[in-house]
Chains A and B, each alone.
Chain A
């Protein structure tokens, strides 16, 4: 693989179910990010990780959790999905957290019914 991959590409989920969105990068980037993108709104940061083993909360973290066990993987978990979490989710990475260009994965389109 080259760059960032995300899985699944799309998913329809019943409310209340648990879901993990996967993100893997092979660029050895230190920093990784999860965003959601909703129509008419800018990308909103959910959680981030400046380096393996550390994570932080972004603008809209409620209902989501992340882990960063190694450099390459940064999964996002919805513990109990709600319809307001219907969105397109993008994972991104950058060499460092300070001013480096962020590179995005292809996105996961999630629908919660």
Chain B
């Protein structure tokens, strides 16, 4: 079957670093997305990985290991505005996105 797993909730401190993990099992793989979703709002695109390795974009980085079916999103220098849900999604063999349930990140002062 197809499955994406993420932790339900994480808590971190303002100014710190947090890593949100995502593991997946899908039939076929064509890329992995991370989206951010603030409460009551639409998901917004953060990153896309198709090859193994780390993609860095400002305070946010995303890592992919295709052989392990594993990705993580790394958020540095956390700010209160980073409090949101982070969604992992994988493009399978039919190019439709399969979504994880999301990780709710709570930032404390």
Contact = CB atoms under 8 A, between A and B. Distances in A.
Given A40-B101, A41-B101, A42-B100, A103 B95 contact: no
Contacts, number: 47
A17 to B, nearest CB: 25
A75 interface: no
Task: Report, as a range, how many residues of chain B touch the other chain.
Answer: 20 to 34
B41 A99 contact: no
Contact of B102 (A42, A99, A102, A104): A42
A41 B98 CA distance: 12
B2 to A, nearest CB: 10
Interface residues of A, number: 19
B101 A42 contact: yes
Closest 5 A-B residue pairs measured CB to CB?
Answer: A42-B99, A104-B42, A43-B99, A42-B101, A99-B31
Interface of B: 4, 30-31, 33, 41-45, 48, 50, 87, 89, 91, 95-102
